[in-house]
Structures are given as C-alpha cells and as structure tokens.
Amino acid sequence: MLLLLMILGVILLLLPFLIVFIKNKGRDYFKDTYEDYLIFPILGLVVFGVSLTAFVINLGNYESIKYNEERIEMLEQHNQEIETRIRVIVENYLEYEGNIYDFENEDITTLFVLIPQLSSNVVVQREMELYISNSDEIKSLKLRTINRKVLAWWLWFGNE
C-alpha cells in the first residue's frame, strides 16, 4: 500500500511534464508554461514524503518483529526456571510445616495464592513479580507477531 502511494507521488511529480508533452504532441514542450500544473508536483511531493516516512517506520517495526519468536522462547524458558525455583521453595515450606498436600498439577500463581505465608517471603515475591512481567511481555510479543501480517500488507500488499 505504501509502495503504491510512493509510486503515485512520483507520478504526480512527473505529471506536469507528461501533460505538456502530450499537449504539444512531443514538439517543443518547453515553450508552454507549467504554472497551470504546479499543484501536481507539490501534491506529489507531499504524498511521496508522507508515504516514504510511513514506509520507513513500518519497515523498522516489521523487521523488529522477526525476532519475537526467539524472545518468546527465551522468556518462556525463564518462566519455567522461575516455576521450578518457586516449586522447590513451596515443597521445602510444606515439608517444614509437615502438611501433606498434592500440588503437582497446580499453577504457580495458584500456589502463591493458596499459601499466604509465601507472599511474605521476599525471594518468592521477587520471583513472582518477574514471572508476571515475563508473562506480560510474552503476551505483548505475541500480539506484535500477529500484527506483522497487517504491517506487511501496509508495506507491499503481501504476506510475510
């Protein structure tokens, strides 16, 4: 789409020359004045400039999204490590208290809510904050990855 707008801008820039050339049938086209057609190059320059700026901005966004999958994998792996560390802390706490609970299939955030004494633990609190921020970043990266097809359409009417 933006490429099409840039081409339109170039056509509008060249339109006065084409009009005068066609009007004079190719002969001595410099004798005619271009003041009647001055709006076309100005409009073409504006269209070309705006579309080129938008193209550069969108291309930068499009290229930065290319590496989102690697970032998502890294953050998911980091979240799994956090889950393992918190699970060890929870298991040690439950052993210490002598309670026999089966939290094998529970989510890490559920464990944090079920055992209120863990919320007072600074290490667990920090790990949970990091876990939540990683999850939020994963969500935003996945949304940006979905928007990549829209950016591709705006750039060149294409898919990836």
* 154 within a domain of the structure (yes/no): no
Collapsing DSSP states into helix, strand and coil, what is residue 139?
helix
> Exposed, middle or buried, 121 (CB in 10 Å: 0-12/13-18/19+)?
middle
Contact between 124 and 132 under an 8 Å Cβ cutoff? The reply is no
The 10s digit of each residue's pLDDT in 101-150 is: 555 666 666 666 666 666 556 777 788 888 889 999 999 988 888 888 88
Domains of the chain: total: 2
Instruction: State the residue for tokens 């938008």.
Output: 54
**Same-domain status, 53 and 83:** no
Domain's final residue, options 65, 99, 118: 65
Structural domain harbouring 38: 2-65
**Do residues 90 and 111 make contact, with C-beta atoms less than 8 angstroms apart?**
yes
| 87 and 58 assigned to the same domain | no
User: Which residue in 47, 2, 27 sits closest to 158, CA to CA?
Assistant: 2
Task: Looking at the structure, tell me whether residues 61 and 115 fall in a common domain.
Answer: no
Residue 49 is assigned to a structural domain of this protein: yes
Do 30 and 72 belong together in one domain? Answer: no
Domain-embedded: residue 159 = no
Please, what's the b/e burial string for 33-68 (b: 16 or more CB within 10 A of its CB; e: otherwise)? Answer: eeeebeebbeebeebbeebeebbeebeeebeebeeb
pLDDT reported for residue 15: 81
CB 97 within 8 A of CB 48: no
99 and 137 share one domain: yes
pLDDT digits (tens, 9 = 90+) for 109-123: 666 666 666 655 677
The pTM of this model reads: 0.56
What is d(CA 99, CA 114) in angstroms, rounded to the nearest whole number?
13
CA neighbours closer than 13 Å in the CB half-sphere of residue 134: 19
Provide mean pLDDT across the span 17-33. Answer: 65
